[in-house]
Amino acid sequence: MTNLEGNIVDVPNPSGRGPGYRYFKAAKKLPRVKKLFEKQPELRKRRTTNDIYKIIDASYYGYRDEVLAIVKGPTEVNMRTEAEKEWRRSGATSREVLFEEEEDVVVEEMREREEKERKDKEREFFVHVPLPDDKEIERMIVERKKMELLSKYASEGLLEEQSEAMDILNIYS
């Protein structure tokens, strides 16, 4: 818009587009013009560490727990007593049922124990071949180690002489 002297004056537009709105009809659809009318999204300001520290107070560190205990204490006591009453009410009915079921459970456990013992007896492993005892196993291990050491450190000639001497003395190991 212009004033009486011919100068362009910014006048608030009734369409809400702001002062100096001079685009009509198809001109509004041009890419650069559209960009002018789009409202920029507000940039969200990032919190700084200083802002975060301002938010943190005594309750963050748990210094106000005593206050909460005083406030919540009576309500917790009421809730607990109500829960106990409900539990006792349900407990009276369940005791009757449990007493009847206890006898069945005891009989069932006895039956399971007997069955388990019977299965364990069936699973026992019987050896039909004689096994060496601990002393015999130990003697065999010592003999094997002795032979390994002799083969490692003794010469063949020495081993032959030793076997001849044992044959002469009738010593068999």
Domain check: are 22 and 71 in the same one?
no
Indicate whether 81 and 30 sit together in one domain.
no
Confidence of residue 108 (pLDDT cuts 50, 70, 90): confident
Structural domains of the chain, count = 2
Please state the rounded mean pLDDT for residues 55-72: 83
Q: Does residue 69 fall inside a structural domain?
A: yes
- Which of 79, 100, 123 terminates a domain? The answer is 123
- Residue 170 included in any domain: no
Residue located via tokens 């020495």: 158
The pLDDT tens digits of the residues spanning 135-169 come to 999 999 999 998 898 888 888 888 888 889 888 98
| Number of neighbouring beta carbons within 10 Å of residue 173 | 6
The 3-state DSSP class for residue 8 equals: strand
Q: Is the dihedral of CA 76, 82, 88, 94 positive or negative?
A: negative
Residues 70 and 30 in one domain: no
Over residues 4-39, the pLDDT tens digits come to 787 777 655 555 565 556 666 777 778 887 787 777
**CA pair distance 162, 169, nearest whole angstrom:** 11
pLDDT (0 to 100) of residue 134: 93
* Domain identity same for 39 and 87: no
Q: Where residue 106 falls among pLDDT bands split at 50, 70, 90?
A: confident
pTM, two decimal places = 0.25
Range of the domain at 108: 54-123
For residue 81, being part of any structural domain is answered with: yes
